[in-house]
Amino acid sequence: PPAPSDPTKIRLVCISDTHTRILPSSDIPAGDILVHAGDLTNSGSVEELRKTLDWLRSLPHPHKLFIGGNHDVGLANDDVRASLDVSGGGLTYLNNEAIDVSVRGRRMRIHGSAWTPRHGNFAFQYPRAGPVAQEIWAGLEEGLDVLVTHGPPRAHVDGPTRYGCDALLDAVWRVKPRIMVCGHVHAGRGMEWLKWDGAQQTWEGVVRRGNTVGWGGMLVGVWQLLCAWLGGGTEDASLILNCAIVGGARDQLVRNAVVLDI
């Protein structure tokens, strides 16, 4: 895409779930900050990680931020991580932590975390329900410009099976980041506005209960949706983006990076 018409805007280029794919540099739009939301690899071996990190390092973006994913088991091992150059060439590895990134005099607060609910025997995982899940996200700070997580919150860009995390959704409601970038659920690729209103809470409640709700709840939900529609606008909302690159039944599709001008 062309450069932003407003030079004060920051261009964020978002990818996730490349799973060892080395995309041509011509397929990655130029921008100020490149974000990779995890699953750089398939097996998380040193060889796969080094190959992908070398590719990211070669890209021209001044700031290149990345997190691990459940497949990136090597990043969860201190010795393996120490053997890799995870900070050279403009790379910044975010391991459940936040940093400030400055672009043309503007500061952006960005937090990155690889953690996802348990699914199989992979890395960076926690029980899907219970206090551990809540504790994982308890440290998220308010006022974040961008929250980068490997997995999505429940009921948002988490695919037809709604495989997102309830504890993460609770945390997102608490901290209200301006933008959330994720992946992990390949079938959930897309964008959604999470509006901080009653209609949104009603919808999420339906999803959490397994799409079962009484007539009273339906009437309340319809009324809240109508009020939200009449109110319009997205000023009091967060943009949630699932930017998984691979897709399809066998991950045979390779999709484009997503560009956000902020």
Looking at residue 3, its pLDDT comes to 73
Tell me what the mean pLDDT of segment 208-223 comes to.
Answer: 56
Residue 258 is predicted with a pLDDT of: 97
CA distances from 227 to 114, 148, 206, 224, 235 (A): 36, 31, 18, 5, 15
pLDDT digits (tens, 9 = 90+) for 41-99: 999 999 999 999 999 999 999 999 999 999 999 999 999 999 998 988 899 999 999 99
Is residue 244 classed exposed, middle or buried when 0-12, 13-18 and 19+ CB atoms within 10 A define those classes? buried
What pLDDT sits at residue 213? Answer: 46
Closest CA to 147 of 54, 33, 241: 241
* pLDDT of the residue at 231: 57
How far, in Å, are 13, 27, 141, 201 from residue 85 at the CA level? Answer: 22, 24, 28, 43
Domains of the chain, first to last: 11-196+236-261 (3.60.21.10), 198-235 (no CATH)
Whole-angstrom Cα distance, residue 151 to residue 181?
A: 9
Sequence letter at residue 197: D
For residues 173-179, average pLDDT: 97
Distance, CA of 231 to CA of 224 (rounded, Å): 10
Q: Tell me the per-residue pLDDT of 146-167, one tens digit each, with 9 for 90 and over.
A: 999 999 999 999 999 999 999 9
Residue whose pair of structure tokens reads 């690889």 in the numeric block: 114
CA 110 to chain centre: 11
Least Cα distance to 35 among 105, 113, 107, 106 occurs for 113
What count of Cα atoms within 13 Å lies in the side-chain half-sphere of residue 181?
31
**pLDDT grade, residue 10 (50/70/90)?**
very high
pLDDT digits (tens, 9 = 90+) for 19-34: 999 999 999 999 999 9
For position 69, what pLDDT does the model report? 98
Confidence of residue 211 (pLDDT cuts 50, 70, 90): low
